[in-house]
Amino acid sequence: MLNRLVAPPVQPLASVTLPAADVLLLPNGSRLHVLHNAAQPVIRLQVVFRAGKWYEPAPGVSLLTARMLLEGTRTRTARQIADEVAFYGASLECEQGFDRATLTLYCLTRHLEKLLPLVYDVLSEPTFPEPDLSLLKTRTIQNVQVERQKTSYLAAERFSRNLFGSAHPYGIVFDENSFQAITQSEVLSFHRHAYNLAGSEVFLCGDVTAKHVEQVQALVGIGNRSSQDQSPPTAFTAPLATPTQDYVTVSDSIQSSLRIGRLWPSSNHPDAHKLQVLAKILGGYFGSRLMKNIREDKGFTYGIYASVGPREHATSFVIGTDVNAASTKATITEVHHELKKLQQELVPADELLTVKNYMAGKFANELSTVFEQCDKYKSLIFLNLPVSYYTDFLQNVSNITTAEIQELAQQYLSPKDMIEVVAGPESN
């Protein structure tokens, strides 16, 4: 008889192999990555450009370009684009990030051929109509004004500025006046320069046939090989940060938001996998030390986290939470206590085993669909990681010892090396 008081045994996840991607180098220099999975009659097409904040000539240009891409072309209005996408039950959107911009199409397999002309039109012939551009600028500024009434937004904004520097693409603070001054010609120029199919990375995954591959090849293989240099200024390639304590005053706020962290080794670093275990123990899941101390024991917050944020040109580590303003100093003291405890004491074996099992299980769950598998694969491409990266990750997680955890904490988690930002009411 099944005893429901006893948890089922945990099976170790020894290795993982992502589905092999077919990579086609097209004449114009773009690469088409194809992952096949016929489980569902659905396809995702993503065209990825070097068109994020890292590559923009002026702050805000990349954001406006991405958000305006679906607002009309030479042959279609924004309404016509939306209606055509809706007619086929598809989804089409463009997202801008710190490093890249991505146009994503989800559709049923049988509709891909009909939607590809629309995708090409949106990518190659956007008009960025002035009235819509002006409206988007106004709306974006209003949204930022609303967000800046929140301590969490202000703390995160100031933390990024202090961590990377005020002139660094990852640390530039939104400025309403300069954003409002961006012109249609600047957006058009950035689009011509950055949204060049030549040299783009294209990912096609799902229920893909040879015919679909040929159709996408014909779409993205147009144009000559790009010779433009999209490298950022060299001053941005090696950000430096010195430990600071900063306070953002938010009048009449009843809560404070904390951000504590530092620059972190990149995903290619020899310690990268083991540092993920350290971050999980500290604040990477609901049973973490920060949660047990500051939420469960002290009752200062509903939630607190510690996370690693890998980007193409820098990686950050941050501890974040929102607390009652009266508990601000006590929370910082407890965060420092947990950092020092990891440096001074070995993690109990049962706690480490729990974290190892959690990380392996979560990783396996993140590979349940072909789209998630493709996302993992994209990280290998954009972060320049080896094919064995995920197998190495599982092995490192499985083999890490409590002594190694302590050594890593001593090297990377000293409170004196952290940047601290608090956003809240008048500091006492």
Parts of the chain with a pLDDT under 50:
227-235, 238
- The answer to whether residues 248 and 421 touch, using CB atoms and an 8 Å cutoff, is yes
What is the per-residue DSSP string for 27-61?
Answer: TTS-EEEEEE--SSSEEEEEEEES-SGGG-SSTTH
CA distance 52 to 63: 8
* Residue keyed to tokens 């689009």: 191
Residue 198 DSSP one-character state? T
CA distances from 405 to 285, 352, 396, 417 (A): 17, 9, 12, 18
pLDDT at position 12 is 63
279, 373, 272: which is closest to 318 by C-alpha? 279
- Reduce the secondary structure of 320-341 to three states and give it as a string: EEEEEHHHHHHHHHHHHHHHHH
Q: What count of other Cβ atoms lies within 10 Å of the Cβ of residue 137? A: 20
pLDDT at position 238 is 45
376, 397, 402: which is closest to 12 by C-alpha? 397
CA distance 296 to 292: 5
* Residue 123 half-sphere exposure toward CB, CA atoms < 13 A: 28
pLDDT at position 176 is 96
- The answer to whether residues 245 and 425 touch, using CB atoms and an 8 Å cutoff, is no
Domains of the chain: 22-234 (3.30.830.10), 245-424 (3.30.830.10)
Q: What count of other Cβ atoms lies within 10 Å of the Cβ of residue 23? A: 11
* Backbone φ and ψ of 255, nearest 5°: -130, 165
**Rounded to 5°, angle at Cα 67 from 65 and 70:** 100
pLDDT at position 11 is 63
CA 414 to chain centre: 26
Q: pLDDT tens across 104-158, in order?
A: 999 999 999 999 999 999 999 999 999 999 999 999 999 999 999 999 999 999 9
Strand partners, 263: 316
* Residue keyed to tokens 């009434």: 149
CA distance 381 to 369: 19
- From the number of C-beta atoms within 10 Å of its C-beta (0-12, 13-18, 19+), residue 406 rates as middle
